[in-house]
Structure 1
Amino acid sequence: MKAITWHGKHDVRCESVDDPEILNPRDAIIRITSTAICGSDLHLYDGYVPQMMPGDILGHEFMGEVVEIGAKSTLKKGQRVIVPFPIACGQCFHCSKQQYSCCDNSNPADKMDFGREQLGQPMAGIFGYSHLTGGYAGGQAEYVRVPYSDVGPFVIPDDSLEDEKVLFLTDILPTGWMAAENCDIQPGDTVAVWGCGPVGLFAVQSAFLMGAARVIAIDHFPHRLELAKKFGAETLNFEETKVYEALQDMTGGIGPDASIDCVGLEPHGLYVDNIIDQIKVSTFLGTDRGHVIRQIIMATRKGGHVSIPGVYGGFIDKFPIGAMMEKGLTVKTGQTHVQKYTQPLYTAIAEGKLDMTFLISHRMPLEAGPEGFQKFHDEQDTYTKIVLKPGMSEAKLAA
């Protein structure tokens, strides 16, 4: 089959690889009909995530048709399914608490030591996201093996809902939703969202749906800021204004009630701390760049909430822990427990309360995946979201 594979920094390829096989009775094989390039895939593209190996198949936002099942799978051949990006067993301590992205059993034993050393505990398995998260082949491919298929995949009951209306249930919609939920939004609250990429835009929508009176969206790409405005957000271009000062002015000197970091370890901007962090990263003296989370902690009101869906992978210097403690901030973060949110968010989509299709800017055949990565990386104001369609040509997609 064909698949998008990683071979180093800024080097992804479309190659022929072995077809997946059933390895466990709870497995299923899915023929991919739609898959997407995620903003967090760019961290792999930029070489920031450890334990990537040449030839690893990328992709954790995908859906398709069931073509083969193990003896203990609850799926049926021919069903259309979306597949959550975290792999969860459904039976461990964390899964019993619906903390699916913290599953204790989905990361193979031979992959767990590095996670324990790096993070204190091993991570759950994630499709196409390094051997730190299990080394699973991802879904930017024609086929994929899905472990624990009796727990993760969600069967699309209404065939009238085409792929693009439900594809982002795999990751970015529930991620934006959980990011807002972690803010404990109260009626009348002001929520600030750093980063208007896909997760940030869904966080903006979700915050309003949860009762926020005001949402302030922060970015520097004009098109992304315009998309945020369409949902009712006020906007700040960080290249044209001082964000901390602007937020204080907009909130009467109090600060936002809640702040959401949808940027993570690769923030933009010519700031002193960001430049120093970049130097440290480029000389292997550091891992992550922490400008946004530093700014968030300083800007959020006393007693407020901070939510971090943006990906961080290692360590940052100059962390304002004093401000976090003295201001009494509540901080929540983590990979998304997608399985917890799939059914209610699917219902909201089916009822027309949520729309995801506005985000898609480009559709490409799978073979164009390497070009898609480069475009998404270099032209983020134009390429807001790329959907790859295995088995479809450029001409058919353009029709």
Structure 2
Amino acid sequence: MRAVTWQGKRKISVEEVPDPRIEEPGDAIIRVTSTAICGSDLHLYELFGPFLDAGDILGHETMGVVEEVGPGVTSLRVGQRVVVPFNISCGECWMCRRGLQSQCERTQVTEYGSGAALFGYTKLYGQVPGGQAEYLRVPLADYNTIPVGTSLPDERYLFLSDILPTAAQGVAYAGVGAGDTALVLGLGPVGQFAARIAAHRGARVIAADPVPERRAMAERYGVTVCDPDEVPDAVAEFTSGRGADAVVDAVGMEAHGSPGVHAAHTAIGALPDAVARPMMEHAGVDRTAALLQGIDVVRRGGTVSISGVYVGNADPLPMKTLFDKQITLKMGQCNVKRWIGDLLPLAERDDDPLGTADLTTHRVPLDEAPAMYETFQKKEDGCIKVVLDPAR
């Protein structure tokens, strides 16, 4: 089969690789009909080389049709249309029963002290082959699939794999409700959905991003938008100087406005893997400009919810400010299955209130993935969300 593979920093190629096969009784093989490039895939493209091997298959936003099932699969049938959550969990352990599927005790990557294994996402999360391919092996398939209908296009369902529940969790963790003022930092795919979900909950939403096309998309959903440099003044005006009730950081570790850490990223990327790995695991390697801005502009007693990915273990935080302002921080890898019961009915509604069909800006054949990684990373050509079509 053809698959999108990592070959080195900013080096992506589509290669012929062996088809996946049933390895455990609970496995299923999915024929992929749509698979997306996620903003967190760009961290692999740019930074996470020390935890990848050449030839690793990328991708963790996937849906398709069941082609084959193992003898232990009980709830799936061949020909069924499914979405595949990006985290791999068992649904039965202590963590899963409490809605913390991203911490599944059966699939935790104990070698690196990490939570549940993920599709297509480095040794830190199990080095499981990803879904930017013609076929995908899904372990524990009874639980790690979301059966969906057949009448709606893929884009109405695909984002249930990651970015829609990630945004929903970010908004829920922020405690956003009707009448609140919510600030969303970053209007990539997760930020777009976070702003829409917050507005759907009845909040007044302001969102910041440096890219005009991203701001224009958010405005279609009643969101007040601004450039990141304008955030302090915009929030002060929006809230009569009090500050936002809640902030969702949908930017993460590669935020603009942190030139020193950006230089460190470049330097670490040039080191041998054996040297770079411990530096990335233990150093403060995150560009925290967006997070620090969120802390500055949230009101006293407010909440900052972090959906963007951070990886540094020594990142400095303004503890005096956090304590003095009584700020609550909530964060974490999304627990996809926890939110599907709320989100699937919204995705299937005729009026599509969260705009699941209004996010994809580029739908291209799998072979165009290398070029689209570059376009997405450089924020060129109005690129907000890329969906790859293995059948084209």
User: Could you tell me the TM-score, scaled by structure 2's length?
Assistant: 0.92
- Classify 1:318/1:242 alpha carbon distance in 2 versus 1 (closer, same or farther; 3 Å): farther
Q: What fraction of aligned residue pairs are identical, expressed as a percent?
A: 42
Deviation string 1:160-208 (CA, Å, 9 cap, x unpaired) is 1121211111111111111111111233110000000110010001101
Residue 143 of structure 1 is aligned with which of 118, 135, 146?
A: 135
Q: In structure 2, how many angstroms separate the alpha carbons of the residues matched to 1:381 and 1:91?
A: 44
Residue 163 of structure 2 is aligned with which of 164, 172, 178?
A: 172
1:160 paired with 2:151, answer yes
2:122 equivalent in structure 1: 130
2:190 equivalent in structure 1: 199
Question: What is the CA distance between 1:48 and its match in structure 2?
Answer: 3.5
Deviation string 1:193-236 (CA, Å, 9 cap, x unpaired) is 00001100100011012221x10110011111011111111111
1:288 equivalent in structure 2: 286
User: What SS does structure 2 have at the residue aligned with 1:4?
Assistant: strand
Amino acid at match of 1:372: M
2:378 equivalent in structure 1: 378
2:37 equivalent in structure 1: 37
Equivalence map 1:51-130=2 (5 Å) = 51-73=51-73, 74-107=75-108, 111-114=109-112, 116=113, 122-130=114-122
Q: In structure 2, how many angstroms separate the alpha carbons of the residues matched to 1:309 and 1:50?
A: 23
2:348 equivalent in structure 1: 350
Deviation string 1:88-140 (CA, Å, 9 cap, x unpaired) is 01111100101111111124xxx5222x2xxxxx2111000111111100000
1:279 equivalent in structure 2: 263
Equivalence map 1:381-396=2 (5 Å) = 382-392=382-392
Q: In structure 2, how many angstroms separate the alpha carbons of the residues matched to 1:49 and 1:359?
A: 29
Q: In structure 1, how many angstroms separate the alpha carbons of the residues matched to 2:49 and 2:173?
A: 25
Residue 236 of structure 1 is aligned with which of 226, 235, 244?
A: 226
User: What SS does structure 1 have at the residue aligned with 2:358?
Assistant: helix
Q: In structure 1, how many angstroms separate the alpha carbons of the residues matched to 2:379 and 2:288?
A: 23
Q: In structure 1, how many angstroms separate the alpha carbons of the residues matched to 2:153 and 2:110?
A: 38
Q: In structure 2, how many angstroms separate the alpha carbons of the residues matched to 1:96 and 1:319?
A: 32
CA RMSD of aligned residues (A): 1.5
Q: In structure 1, how many angstroms separate the alpha carbons of the residues matched to 2:68 and 2:240?
A: 59
Amino acid at match of 2:218: A
Question: What is the CA distance between 1:316 and its match in structure 2?
Answer: 5.1
1:14 equivalent in structure 2: 14
Q: In structure 2, how many angstroms separate the alpha carbons of the residues matched to 1:300 and 1:316?
A: 23
User: Could you tell me the TM-score, scaled by structure 1's length?
Assistant: 0.91
Amino acid at match of 1:258: A
1:258 equivalent in structure 2: 246
Question: What is the CA distance between 1:286 and its match in structure 2?
Answer: 4.2
User: What SS does structure 2 have at the residue aligned with 1:185?
Assistant: coil
Deviation string 1:13-48 (CA, Å, 9 cap, x unpaired) is 100111111111111000101111111110110124
Q: In structure 1, how many angstroms separate the alpha carbons of the residues matched to 2:77 and 2:54?
A: 34
- Classify 1:162/1:246 alpha carbon distance in 2 versus 1 (closer, same or farther; 3 Å): closer
2:327 equivalent in structure 1: 329
For the 8 Å contact 2:375–2:381, the answer to whether it is kept is: no
For the 8 Å contact 2:34–2:158, the answer to whether it is kept is: yes
Question: What is the CA distance between 1:250 and its match in structure 2?
Answer: 2.6
Amino acid at match of 1:233: V
User: What SS does structure 2 have at the residue aligned with 1:151?
Assistant: coil
- Classify 1:279/1:334 alpha carbon distance in 2 versus 1 (closer, same or farther; 3 Å): same
Unpaired segments of 5 or more residues in structure 2?
269-282
Question: What is the CA distance between 1:260 and its match in structure 2?
Answer: 0.5
For the 8 Å contact 2:197–2:354, the answer to whether it is kept is: no
For the 8 Å contact 1:255–1:300, the answer to whether it is kept is: yes
Q: In structure 1, how many angstroms separate the alpha carbons of the residues matched to 2:49 and 2:300?
A: 33
- Count of aligned positions: 375
User: What SS does structure 1 have at the residue aligned with 2:140?
Assistant: coil
For the 8 Å contact 2:37–2:373, the answer to whether it is kept is: yes
Unpaired segments of 5 or more residues in structure 1?
117-121, 393-399
Deviation string 1:70-96 (CA, Å, 9 cap, x unpaired) is 111121101000000011011111001
Deviation string 1:351-375 (CA, Å, 9 cap, x unpaired) is 2333212111111111111111111
